Structure 1
Amino acid sequence: MLKDSGMEKINFSGGEPFLHQRGDFLGKLVQFCKQELRLPSVSIVSNGSLITEKWFQKYGEYLDILAVSCDSFQEETNALIGRRQGKKSHLDNLHRVRSWCSEYRVAFKVNSVINTFNVKEDMRDQIRELNPVFQCLVIDGENAGEHALREAEKFVISDEEFQDFLDRHSEITCLVPESNQKMRDSYLILDEYMRFLDCREGRKDPSKSILDVGVENAIQFSGFDEKMFLKRGGKYVWSKADMRLEW
């Protein structure tokens, strides 16, 4: 239904999308979107902890972009933020997944949420070492205020602090900063019930499901801002087949 309505790009995120059936269910979705729907771009956002080389061997050819969340290159800071992965090193795993992306020709992206615990950090050397072949996306804090889904006020930084971080990393050419405002209104988000989520009021207000009322009806309640989408550079080269990648 989404493809028939003009969808060209789909991104699977969570929670952690690799949790279900050790990623096999996700892999089948990725394969279906590329093989059957022939979408130009299929991407995933993951914390990287459950990804295996076996998954890449089976499904890597159908995936255009893999974004791995990494909010800090210091293990103790990751623990404070909540990125601890048991006894595993989040950073070791990040580099392992990066190498698989290179081997199986998947564009690699780093997502960092800049917050109270990492806003003073200098990530330049680590980003250069990882050499993302795609955008390094940096956004400021989210989910603050009276109606927050979780207590996130302690993570939230000021606009000035965010700008200081961007200035410090201005030489990183792959960095693409996105503020809360840009993030909130410039994405079409569907939940597990196939409802568009309207984030304009700082909440995630659901539309009716596209399975009940169709895409055209439901999308009217998505809060999507096309001008903001274009302003943040939402239209770019999506398919790895069209990217100039250095493997």
Structure 2
Amino acid sequence: MPFSSAIASPKLLLQLFISTIYCIFESAFSKLRYWTTGACKGTKSFVSAAGHKLNENNEETATIPTSVNYHFTRKCNYKCGFCFHTAKTSFVLPLEEAKRGLKLLKESGMEKINFSGGEPFLHERGEFLGKLVQYCKQDLQLPSVSIVSNGSMIKEKWFQKYGVYLDILAVSCDSFDEATNQLIGRTQGRKSHLDNLYKICNWCQEYKVAFKINSVINTFNTDEDMTEHINQLNPVRWKVFQCLVIDGENAGESALREAERFVISDQQFQEFLDRHSSVSCLVPESNEKMRNSYLILDEYMRFLDCREGRKDPSKSILDVGVEQAICFSGFDEKMFLKRGGKYVWSKADMKLEW
């Protein structure tokens, strides 16, 4: 060995030793930092420096994206004052990229996909949505494919073309009084939101799609009794949400909405639930249950973490994969199960009378 190399070797060994110690401390710090009270829920676990979920025995586990809500567009033709996923961008992934992400989710264990917005029927007049619905049911063979819509853009010809691939269609309706819907912003021009609701309910029956209703309870409808109308429409589920404030979406300086005037107390929400306790299909979701118990993908296919009262995005699953991205979703799997997030969601298993 040359003399110069012999002199240099101790220095190289020292640098290697320091580098190794640094990596050990960096790994330990990363594990401490991402210890879950938050990120990857299920068992008591933490996220390693590599982004993998580990349990107490230092064994890798993974959060399974059983049910995913994909908000592929933020654009909407309504202006609901409490909306917490507003039109901050107009971006929509190309169809093939969206399909690639959906396939990644299926390979990671997804059983149910829910398409939402914005208004999902607005982009390409529902054709983009229809192609995604068909792909998920026909190609990916998902047990459940569902949509949440305001109902204003849905045409019967969409059901004729794509209804066979859809398990559940949820239409948002916050009041059975047209004037109240006007105050909330769930309207467009002189079109009747309620006429659309009943029309779509009939189409769902005709084309064998399970019909669902979503309602956000707020200051304008908290005293309303919707029992008669809900019983008449007879949805498979009536999802009743407490108005939720998300910084940067419907509250704060950068927000496109000001939802504070729509917010109700926990007591008011409970009084609404008590008034409708006879409705068998009612599924209540308070802010506590709702905030962290949904896996939400935005238009870039990034999981959104709502634990801090805002929507902090992960990296896109298209760039880093599902397993790594989901560790930064803030998903509370225990609350997901507690609120009844897993239910009979395939229309083939619902035993409905069409």
TM-score (norm 2): 0.68
Among 239, 246, 257, the alignment partner of 1:137 is: 239
Query: What's 2:262 paired with?
Result: 155
3-state SS of the aligned residue for 2:105? coil
- Cα distance change, pair 178–226 in 1 and its aligned pair in 2 (3 A): same
Counterparts of 2:288 and 2:306, CA distance in 1: 10
Q: Does 1:85 align with 2:85?
A: no
Greater relative contact order (Cα < 8 A, sep 6+) = 2
Q: Is 2:339 the counterpart of 1:226?
A: no
Aligned partners of 1:61, 1:206: CA distance in 2, in Å?
33
The counterpart of 1:166, out of the listed 257, 273, 280, is 273
Which amino acid in 2 is paired with 1:11?
N
- Give the number of aligned pairs: 246
Find the counterpart in structure 1 of residue 305 from structure 2. Answer: 198
Aligned residue number for residue 4 of structure 2: none
Classify the secondary structure of the residue corresponding to 2:157: helix
Q: 1:183 aligns with which of 285, 290, 311?
A: 290
Pairing of 1:113-132 with structure 2 (within 5 A): 113-132=216-235
User: Is residue 26 of structure 1 aligned with residue 129 of structure 2?
Assistant: yes
- Offset at residue 147 of structure 1 (A): 3.8
Q: Is the 8 A contact 1:144 1:153 kept in 2?
A: no
- Counterpart amino acid of 1:99? N
Cross-structure match for 2:352? 245
| 8 A contact 2:246–2:310 mirrored in 1 | no
Whether the 8 Å contact between 1:144 and 1:156 is mirrored in structure 2 is: no
Distance 2:181 2:134 in 1: 32
| Alignment partner of 1:208 is 2:315 | yes
For residues 151 and 211 of structure 1, the distance between their equivalents in structure 2, rounded to whole angstroms, comes to 33
Q: Which runs of 5+ in 1 are unaligned?
A: none
Letter in 1 for 2:244: E
> What SS does the corresponding residue of 1:176 show, helix, strand or coil?
strand
Match of 1:44 in 2: 147
Higher mean alpha-carbon deviation, 203-212 vs 144-153, is at 144-153
Cα distance in 1, alignment partners of residues 346 and 259 from structure 2: 34
Deviation of 1:144 (Å): 5.7
CA distance, structure 2, for counterparts of residue 87 and residue 161 of structure 1: 31
- Larger mean CA deviation between 97-106 and 80-89 belongs to 80-89
In structure 2, C-alpha distance between the alignment counterparts of 1:10 and 1:204, rounded to whole Å: 20
Q: SS at the partner of 2:195?
A: helix
- C-alpha displacement at 1:62, in angstroms? 0.1
Moved over 2 A (4+): 144-150
Q: Give me the whole-angstrom Cα distance separating, in 2, the residues matched to 1:244 and 1:166.
A: 27
Contact 1:147 1:203 in 2 (8 A): no
Flag the structure with larger Rg: 2
Structure 2: tracts of 5 or more residues without a match: 1-103
The residue type paired with residue 47 of structure 1 is N
Identity rate of aligned residues, in percent? 77
